[in-house]
Structure 1
Amino acid sequence: MKISVYLTGGIACYKAIEVVRGLEKAGHEVRIVMTKNAEHFVTSHTLAALTKYPVLDDLWSKENEDKISHVELAQWPDLALVVPATANFIAKMACGIADDAASTTILATSAPKFVIPAMNDQMWTNPATQRNLDLLKQDGIQIMKPKVGVLAEGYVAKGRMPEPSEILTWMSEIIKDNDCLAGKKIIVTAGGTIEPIDPVRYIGNYSSGKMGIAIAEAAKKQGADVTLIYGNISVSIPKGIKSIHAETTEDMEKAVLHEFVNSDVLIMAAAVADWRCERVQDHKIKKQNNKNELNLSLIKTTDILKAASKIKNKNQIIIGFAAETNDLLENANKKLESKGADYIVANDVSKDVFGNDNDQVTILIKHKKPEILPQMSKKKVAEEIIKLL
């Protein structure tokens, strides 16, 4: 696993060196980001020698003039670890402040983040610090609480950084939990397919692709080999995930069936068009003064979910989506029975769902009671779906 380790300006920096060594001994690839204050306690030369990589500590150094090193390093890791995390750096993370190499890089990092605070007990118990920690938790950042022990000031209190062995044990458990889909190939569809009417018009839907892309990212974070097959979307494609663009339902069907043959899981989160024009015009349809109507002859598109179920083997899993505006569970249950899927994620799209960052879904599983999830971010919904796997 690729791990970026951030050292900030506390005396516990000397113990962070043992954490870096332990991560490398466990087979992980480590790169270092340091604040200038951290370098008052340990040198960047020490960490560079250990990791065999340059340490990022300055956005404006001569070495970085021809590249954007902080963005490159922000996109590189599978997870980011801040050890030790000072009260100052925790505050920067909580507020999104980016005023040096370390704070800028971690702000640009989308990988899971883990924080090991270490500071004086008065700073630890300060309401501002506790507020900032609560904000980090709300953002999904995991925090390992400091220990009671002898502080740099010479008295016993809470604020001491845990020993490197404790941190490494904590990290190994997290890495194990975050790697449970290693070796599994997962296909995720996202966005809406479009069906052309003529060279400039098409039939489409309001799908943004946010849910499917969140699922693809959640699966990748669990170690899966993810292929994202996407249609018409309004959000960017995440880097580091294999992606295939499929504009029409026919394009998506071909891509899905080709990829699904050698995969373990198919998650059909795309909003696939149900209808297409029987005949696509080869020129733009013009308005005619003597006609107030335009009649289109539509025919059904292929049912990709059902087609995939027909070639599914006993070791493969298919998760479908049911976007409904009425009779949610009744229609979703019909889909579960008729489509051959193992799970159906049902969501009511009669309200403000398309393009929104939040959703409320019910997961239907064959021969089990529906699992009703509370309203949450689509990112959290994605994580719940991946937990099923």
Structure 2
Amino acid sequence: MNRTISIIKKEFLQMKRDRLTLALIFMIPLVQLLLFGYAIQTEVKHIPTVVFDQSLSGSSRDMLEAFSASGYFDITCAAGSYDDVTRRIDSGEARVGIIFPPDFARQVKRGVPAAVQVIVDASDSMVSNQAIATANSIGLLKSQQVLFQKTLAGGPPYDIRVRPWYNPDGITAYYMVPAILGIIVTMTMVIITSVAIVREREQGTLEQLLVTPVKPLELMIGKIVPYIVLGYLQITVALLVAVLVFQVPIRGSLLQLYLLTLFFITASLGLGLMISNLAQTQMQAFQMSFFVMLPSILLSGFLFPRAAMPKIIFFLSYLIPLTYYLDIIRGIVLKGIGFHYLLGQVASLLVFSVLVLSISVLKFRKNIN
């Protein structure tokens, strides 16, 4: 026990001396949290739109006002022909084209379906999906209004009341910022831990510890504890930024969040230690860490919904610790759920941590024998 405490003290002293690394540990995550929190927006608004209105009637102007008032379509220019609409979309000046036929107003008055053509540049799927869904919603809403006025009914036959829970305004920061926090911790624990330990091996300081009567498990614990403390400091700073800058509500228990975060930090540290046992140089450690980071970002549900992934990729994502931690942090922060809802995620992280740390200890013992 005393030897382990001595290693922990030496590790903290080494961190204190390496001021640049210590500064990067805190500054890079903070910059990333602010940058990505503002930059990553899944709701696409203010899509540049070109209009070719051949009707020039009150009905067409009323429909255009509905498109503009939605906030998703910015009417940036008016076209004089179909070719003009095509040219503006091809050049990227507009992403959406709205075309009204000459008899639009007459069709509305006659009560027959009045066609409105909406051309969407689908080269960007996120923008096109948003534009298509919003345009259909606007058309449906306007149709309901016209039908209601014509029939003079006392109300619609169906009263569908949608109640979105947890993030009713669809604010991206509420969804993305907690996930970015998980990415930051993964980056720190995996990359910095693996590179730092390999650097010690290259400098010979690790061999100096090996000649002492310290056991491999004690050495591993001594190396892990300081980074756990750093991980919690990062979590604290990131949560403060999330609440104060992005106004992310924390609906659940902070104590539970901190306790369950320990399992995620331990799992990430286990990956870092395993990489440090496999890598021979700092460059190798960095490359292996990047190999872990990329799947964590792409396959964990951070950017893309896992339910939409192919089955084999969906099951492979279970091998990524961030997959479980995203459920934990989003569940506690946004939903306010408790520990009993997250038993499966916690158990998975615990099994992952024990497995990876055991492999790391065995591999380390094999290397020193």
TM-score after normalising by structure 2:
0.29
Higher helix fraction: Structure 1 or Structure 2? 2
Higher strand fraction: Structure 1 or Structure 2? 1
Larger RCO: 1 or 2 (CA < 8 Å, sep 6+): 2
CA radius of gyration, larger in: 2
TM-score after normalising by structure 1:
0.28
